Structure 1
Amino acid sequence: MITAGIDVGSVSTKVVLLMDDEIQYLVRPTGWSPRDAGLNTYKELLAAAGCKDSEVQCKVGTGYGRISLGFIDKAVTEIHCHARGAGYLAGRGGLVIDIGGQDSKAIVINDCGKVLDFAMNDKCAAGTGRFLQVIAAALGVDVSELGELARGRQPLEINSMCTVFAESEVISLLAKGEDKRDIIAGIHRSVARRVWGMASRFAPAGKVIFTGGVAKNRDVRERLALESGSEVIAPELGQLAGALGAALYARELAAKK
């Protein structure tokens, strides 16, 4: 059985082909057209996998651009898809924290990946991937470098988490001669505090499952562990949690046909 999950996010589009238990995937920037990003990334992955669209038995879309995907069989909310994918990757239930391009989510799941409760911040870009991109640009570094630059550094206090004001604050700190590595560490600590402030009401015991693009940032992971007082695990394919969850839902739907 072959099924597909297409997660069109604000920053990146992730597509997963679930071929029995084999996972094939592709990640591409979303750009200005969610519809084109979803379709083109799906076609590119099919070609790379040597698979035809007619062989895919069901396609499920998720993410903010899911409503623009005219070629899918069903759209499922990102909360449910991220929960399902995170549970599959971690092999357990618990608290999932997902930080994406423009929102952050805290989701409590059972061992089957079913949503028991959740909280979401989608009104402000503070603490998201987009926020870190803006800060990285202000510091003159690539966003992929932030994690290593900040590790082991003493974080400076960052007073604002508004993207515009935080950028101005970062520029002011640079002008005062502060080390950019300490500034980044301060930004990461602020991100961890903000996200944990949203998730703390769920009071997890044990491990936190950290997914989304920001989960690849090792320093953010470590500071989130400090804030939460819990072990934070980041599955290797955590950025694909939404797309994988969509592909898993597609497999269920295909089995019912």
Structure 2
Amino acid sequence: EDLSHITATGAGKEEVSFSQGTITEVGANAKAINFLFPSARTVIDIGAEEGRAIKISEKGKVVDFAINEKCAAGAGTFTETMARALEIKLEEMGALSLKSQKAVPMNAQCAVFAESEVVSLIHTKHTKEDIVRAVHDAIADRIASMARKIGIEKDVALVGGVARNIGFVDSLKRDLELDLLIPEDPEFSCALGAAYAAVEKAKGG
């Protein structure tokens, strides 16, 4: 079947020469979550490069949003950097974090300084489980603070690739003190939203 409309989104959306339109990641997430979870009023999106908090209306319109784009400490690349410092696989971090026996504070708010802090924690004989949890807690704290700036309204949905990290999800739930709605394929939320935007355009919306 022929495609009647193509809408691009993401960091490279302007480079998609064959699209008939674009939509921001914020707008795309709002549309996707409104379809998947109609009760959601707050969307937290954490990808590799940045984190976002979006407040949406009951019709999926963006009411307000905040973006953490200046520091990797609130994004997926931060966990990748910490995994290398700990000499573990990225996909192992979630399960390790859940085995932590105690909370270890991590004060660094920058990926560069945090890596040094992780090395220091290793030298002071903290377990990898506790250090990984500290990493997740640090990211969760930064993301939760960003979300609180726009006001957190239930229900809250979590999307982006980092939503697949069960250790981070646990940390964010504890920080926000509420449960999270997570799609089956959280990393494709923006793409789904762009598809709905394309449908609306094709129908003359």
Residues 157 and 182 in structure 2, CA contact (< 8 A), matched pair in contact too: yes
TM-score normalised according to structure 2 size: 0.93
Equivalences for residues 1-257 of structure 1 within 5 A: 55-153=2-100, 154-256=102-204
Residues 95 and 108 in structure 1, CA contact (< 8 A), matched pair in contact too: yes
Residue 25 of structure 1 corresponds to which residue in structure 2? none
Unaligned runs of 5+ in 1: 1-50
Residues 133 and 143 in structure 1, CA contact (< 8 A), matched pair in contact too: yes
Amino acid paired to 2:165: N
Unaligned runs of 5+ in 2: none
Amino acid paired to 2:200: E
CA distance in 1, matches of 2:154, 2:10: 28
Deviation at 1:152, TM superposition (A): 4.0
- Greater fraction of residues in strand: 1
Deviation at 1:129, TM superposition (A): 0.5
Deviation at 1:61, TM superposition (A): 0.8
| Cα displacement string for residues 76-127 of structure 1 (whole angstroms, at most 9, x for unaligned residues) | 1111011111222223331111111111101011222210111111111112
**DSSP-derived class of the 1:210 partner:** strand
Question: Which stretch of structure 1 is more off in the superposition, 188-197 or 82-91?
Answer: 82-91
TM-score normalised according to structure 1 size: 0.75
**DSSP-derived class of the 1:126 partner:** helix
CA distance in 2, matches of 1:197, 1:237: 25
| Cα displacement string for residues 198-252 of structure 1 (whole angstroms, at most 9, x for unaligned residues) | 1113443433111111111112112211111222121112211101000000011
User: Whose RCO is larger (CA < 8 A, sep 6+)?
Assistant: 2
What is the RMSD computed on CA atoms of the aligned residues?
1.6
Question: Which stretch of structure 1 is more off in the superposition, 204-213 or 162-171?
Answer: 204-213
